[in-house]
Structure 1
Amino acid sequence: MVAIVGIATYFSDWMQMFLFVCYPLTWILSRSQWQGLAWTWLLTVSVGLGLYSASGKNFSEVLGYSVVVGAFSSAMGLWISAIFHWGQEREEMRHAIEASRDRELEAARTLAIREQHEHMAREVHDTLAQGFVSVIALSQAAQPLTESVLTDSTTEKIRDRLDQIEEVARENLEEARALIQAWKPPSLAEGDLKAAVERLVTSATKRSDITFNLTIRGDEALSTEDEVTVLRILQELTSNVTRHSQANTVTIEVCIATGSCIMTVEDDGIGIAGNPEGTGLQGVRQRARISGGHTTIESPDNGGTRVRVVLPREAP
């Protein structure tokens, strides 16, 4: 191209008009800016020699013309080339950002799935597992009665036990359906948190010989998520007391303050000093931690256990 344009300019100086096409082509075909500069000036020299030889113009005029044209073409070529390379870098950066974003989305999705699995495991443990344990305990309590001579009083006791078994089974069936459909717990769907806690304590009293003293202070409303968390924690603590504490009296206090919700469950049972925490208490700690709160468990040597859970309260 350089040779052809130079020779064509020798025969007709009008052929130098092809420089408007040839200069951009040199930069398109060159693999680097240095090659573009080299071919630009070779093209300029070729056209300048053709003009000088054909028209017999003054060398200084041709030289000045060639320098101006070559310098302008070089500057334009460097500028456009820089824009092109800048665009390439931005494109590569965009691809890198998209790849990084895809990796982050995949990691977030994996984490969300793991958290959902852990959440479902806690829900199953706090509802279905605890309820079915109660069913087993009630069934076992009814078995000795059937082995004795059936009297009217014995028959009545058996009926009471079976009624309690049916009640617990129905409650946990509703819990299972709520979990599957991602609804709030049925006890909360039937009323507010206070009513749900009262029903929980009433049910625990029926299933055991323990005396429960419940106190709920504060009229501030909680968000649905906080209500579910409070109810699940109290369910787990109540279940632990009835199954393991061998207590006679249990005091439950729920205080809903302006910036927090404080739950305290204290019993006069055998305590947990020296024994490792079970899955239930670990689940309580984890629930509180996920909600931004903390759990304190105290069990003196003379018996009894005091569990205090503090949760930050969010506006409903």
Structure 2
Amino acid sequence: MSLFWRIFLLNAVVLMVATMLLLGPVTVSSPVLPAEAAVVVAGLVAMLVANAVLLRVGLAPLRRLTRAMAAADLLRPGSRPAATGHGEITELITTFNTMLDRLESEQAAGSARVLSGQEAERQRIAQELHDEVGQTLTAVLLQLKHVSELAPGPLREELHQVRETTRGSLEEIRRIARRLRPGVLEELGLHSALRALTAEFTSPALAVGLRLDPGLPALDEQTELVLYRVAQEGLTNTARHAGAGRVDLRLERTAGGARLTVRDDGKGLGAAPEGAGIRGMRERALLVSARLTLGPGPGGGTEVRLDVPVREEDR
């Protein structure tokens, strides 16, 4: 029975009972006596209360669906509202759940294409920086060295300063290229790549700790890349925004797969909205059906946790 007919029949029953009472034991005279007016008012109140209760019970599934629709976020896959109720209410909730499944699947597929193109573009830029800009600056360094050997004393000192500036620029370009394309991840694996990453972020102002638990499950290339990029973004956010003195990175085995944790002692997230970096981490997590959690750490600061499921055959 449809929602319309259920509400209509419930209201019809209430009105029929009221009519039978007026035609039977309850009568209204002219002029209306106080006792009769009290009975009519009481009947009206009873009708309104009955209608309110019946409508609240009948429309409760719709309120749950409204809350679920307001809380739905494709970057945070969550539970679905239970398909309870009758008739088109159940059908509406089931349709909404099916729509969410389809949208999340399309979101994951679209994110995969975008991130795949992004990685390809990063690899191309890193290659050009290494081959073109890097080689050009190397040639400039050699020329400066040759010129400084022939230059007089005062000019030689200035050329030496130019050489050091150029050398610093070359090192910065190489560092950017390594961030764009984690070659050590492809060549030596995830553990070596995370060690190189923590060494890169370690500085006098920021101590970076690393713990890699033994016996991790086998991970495919895409999962390793997602873990590396999330660790890289977490350390980058800590270095730029957290004002932290220490950050700890840990990769460990769990009952369901693997967990990456980046925890700092900085000022925390506060009420700041999520930026492009965090949204990028959420999109990457969806690629491997992982769960990304951000929040305050046990001792303050910020904790980024990525739980990656692993298939039974890969454990």
With the length of structure 1 as denominator, give the TM-score of the two structures: 0.46
Greater relative CO, 1 or 2 (CA 8 Å, sep 6+): 2
TM-score (norm 2): 0.46
Whichever structure has more helix as a proportion of its residues is 1
